[in-house]
Chain A
Amino acid sequence: MTIDNFIRRLTSLGLAITLFIFIAAYSIIGTVLPQGLQREFYMESYPSMGSIITSLQFDQVYSSWIFRILLFLFIVNLSGCTLKILPGQLKKMNKDHFPKPKPDGDNLHAENMDLQIFRGILEKKKFRIVEDEKGFRASKHRVGNIGSSITHLGIIIIILGSFIGNMLAQEGFFNMLPGDIKGFPEYGFSLRLDDFKLGFRDNGTVDQYYSDVTVLRPEGEEWSDTLWVNNPLKVDRVDFYQTSYGWANSLSILGPEGEEENTLLRNGESYFYQPGHLTVYLYGYFPNMALTSMGEPITMTEQEINPYYAVILYEFGNHVASEILEPGQEYQFKDFTLAFNDSQLYTGITYRRDFGYIFVMLGSLLMTLGLVFSFYFYPKHILVEENSVRTITRQNTWGFEYQVRQLVQQSVEKEE
């Protein structure tokens, strides 16, 4: 295979179609198979396919080398294809360019039509008219010629922008209680949570959740703002997102000699109390507790109307008790006394610094613009000669012919 041949194939439509299909097929696998789990999961869940799944990286489809190769080939193909077609498209944008009509195309000329009236109608429709010895040529929307190249360029920018952006992006997640300060020395500021509150609807369900924060700078400057879902906070180039919330519950354990240990537990967390070889597992805090028909505790709302803690105790790893406790209620186990005194809402905030987003948006804009050019501002040409009206377009042959037929009809009606 010669180099020319290789390049032709690499930039061919055939390869583009093949890549579309492979990328789609590979993506489907990612939606059907659970992603990013331990190798053992796949070996146990799919005994006959487990090794194939992991070796072909079907367990991490979108970050796999196969997917990256497909996207790389796609970029090469799309870039090559665009470079190949762009010179021809630019040539077609020249106002002197006028394509030849298809030999088998319909003649839309009507018997009673007046060419001058028809020309006037076309001028009103913003066609550019050029006269020649046999009649005239009308053209419109030459910019549509480069529509596909603009779309391709947009897609290239999206893929490269997102790839590089994701590589360089910095992100993380943290929880905060009111009063906590989270430092970001690498960005030169800190974030203090002043307050966190839930917004309730009339029926007690959570409508929205809000974090009141203050940005602190080393030089003493500070400013406050509120984050909620769909309203991130931008500090320099870092975005902060309201992501989650929960209850932090204060547990205290009192030993036989009055020694006290205090800690904060979230739902589903446990605390190991060394002196008693005791593990306190907080099954959940239920601010407005009710029991299901199966006896399972649930919370009706997040409002603290009927608060209870569901606690499970293990001694030396063995289950010893399951209790429902009120706030402040003491529970005695052997020489130890434990109590959950109160609960406080904490906020979960995600931060992300991503340079790629601006490129993705630019690419999306170009892609959409290119499609609009391709589909709605596609080049339209009409060749009008004596007893002959012929349309020339690649994009919408029948539709354009239909429109021109109507214009011809209009010119006939005006003549009459």
Chain B
Amino acid sequence: MDLVYFEELMFTIAFGGYTLSSILFFIFVAMKKERVGKAAIGLAMAGFGIHTLAIVLRVIESGRLPFTNQFEFATSFAWGIVLCYLVLHFAYRFTGVGAFVMPMAFLVMGYASMLPKEIKPLMPALQSSWLYIHVGTAVVSYGSFAVAAGLAAMYLIGERQKASGDGKTVLPKSEVCDYLSYRVIAFGYLMLTLVIVTGAIWAKYAWSRYWAWDPKETWSLITWLIYSVYIHLRFNRGWKGKPAAWFAVIGFISVIFTFIGVNNILPSIHSYR
């Protein structure tokens, strides 16, 4: 049995961990039992640890970071989502957030599990240290946007609960979800800016042009513009609450399209399958 076998095994166990964690988070939100919440967090952490191990095994096997095709980015993206969630959790201890974030990690892992996992050698254009900075910042940025979208969804559901007069809830206050969503978006936005800037520097080295209006580049810019609108409205017009939450969700849809849609639908020099 080689490393690839163990990597796939670890990936599957991590996927299972995220799945169970998501289910437990739902039960926690529905039944409001603290022990269930703790178990959900524990599973998310265990899943994250095993997922990290799977990634490390792949790094050993391939001799590089797993950033070069759809599977590798998807698994790194899911890892980024859980990382951002755990950082948020340990900073603020809002257990209920997991019910909205872990399902996203589960979905992205599910997508990754359907993709070919074979390790391919790096094509000439990808043989650059910029790959790690450019895609690494993308992993963190996309992960942040996913968490922000989860917080925004939580805000929307929290507001609905408030309207329907549901009493006890384990979700953080709507105001908190709103603020956290904004802060996480601000971080993701900064990271996305770095993704675009490092991509431009790399493109200049590899292809002679720092910007060529390739669909991937353009959709990254579109996503950046969407979040720019969000940040300006929020900061200057005091946009909060529902419209801001919906905007966070729309921004994340654009992120997903930039990742999956552009790779599969639009012809691009970035379509590494």
- Which A residues have a C-beta under 8 Å from some C-beta of B? 13, 16-17, 20-21, 23-24, 27-28, 30-32, 35, 61-62, 162, 171, 201, 205-209, 228-232, 239, 241, 243, 350-352, 357, 360-361, 364, 367-368, 371-372, 375, 394-399, 402
Question: How far, in Å, is B183 (CB) from chain A's closest CB?
Answer: 6
Chain B residues at the A interface, C-beta cutoff of 8 Å:
92, 121, 124-125, 127-128, 175-176, 179-180, 182-183, 186-187, 189-190, 193-194, 197, 200-201, 204-211, 213, 215, 218-219, 221-222, 225-226, 228-229, 232-233, 235-237, 262, 266
Query: A207 vs B200: C-alpha distance in the bound complex, in angstroms?
Result: 23
Establish whether residues A20 and B208, one from each chain, have CB atoms under 8 Å apart when the complex forms: no
Residues of B within 8 A of A231 (CB): 205
A368 to B236, CA, bound (A): 20
Question: Are B176's CB and A20's CB within 8 A?
Answer: no
A selection of 16 A-B contacts at a CB cut-off of 8 Å is A13-B232, A17-B229, A21-B225, A28-B222, A32-B266, A162-B210, A201-B121, A207-B124, A209-B124, A241-B207, A241-B208, A357-B204, A368-B194, A371-B189, A398-B176, A399-B179
17 new A-B contacts, CB < 8 A, other than A21-B225, A24-B222, A360-B200, are A13-B232, A13-B236, A13-B237, A16-B232, A20-B225, A24-B225, A27-B225, A61-B213, A207-B121, A350-B207, A357-B204, A364-B197, A371-B189, A394-B235, A396-B179, A396-B183, A398-B179
A372 adjacent to B190 (CB under 8 Å)? yes
- Contact at B193–A230, with CB atoms within 8 Å? no
Considering the complex of A and B, which 3 residue pairs feature the smallest CB-CB distances, nearest first?
A: A398-B179, A229-B124, A364-B197
Interface centre among B194, B209, B221 (most CB of A within 10 A): B209
| Complex: A27 Cα to B186 Cα, angstroms | 23
Is the beta-carbon distance between B121 and A205 smaller than 8 angstroms? yes
Q: How far is the CA of A361 from the CA of B103 in the complex (A)?
A: 38
User: In the complex the two chains form, what is the Cα distance from A357 to B197 in whole Å?
Assistant: 12
Report the separation of the CA atoms of residues A241 and B204 in the bound assembly, to the nearest whole angstrom. Answer: 9
Give the docked Cα–Cα distance between A223 and B60 (Å): 39
Nearest chain B CB to A219 CB, angstrom units: 28
CA of A206 to CA of B189 in the docked complex: distance in angstroms?
37
- Select one of B121, B207, B266 contacting A31, CB under 8 A: B266
Contact A162 B211 (CB under 8 A): yes
Q: B208–A375 contact, CB under 8 A?
A: no
Task: Report whether B229 and A350 are in contact in the complex, using a CB–CB cutoff of 8 Å.
Answer: no
Bound CA span A207–B266, Å? 27
Task: Give chain A residues whose Cβ lies under 8 Å from the Cβ of B124.
Answer: 206-209, 228-230
Q: From the candidates A205, A230, A360, name the one contacting B210 in the complex (CB within 8 A).
A: A360
In chain A, what residue has the closest Cβ to B254?
A24
A162–B211 CA distance with the chains assembled, in angstroms: 9
State in angstroms the CA–CA spacing of A61 and B221 once bound together: 15
Do A27 and B218 touch across chains, with their CB atoms under 8 A apart?
yes
A399 touches B183 (CB 8 A): yes
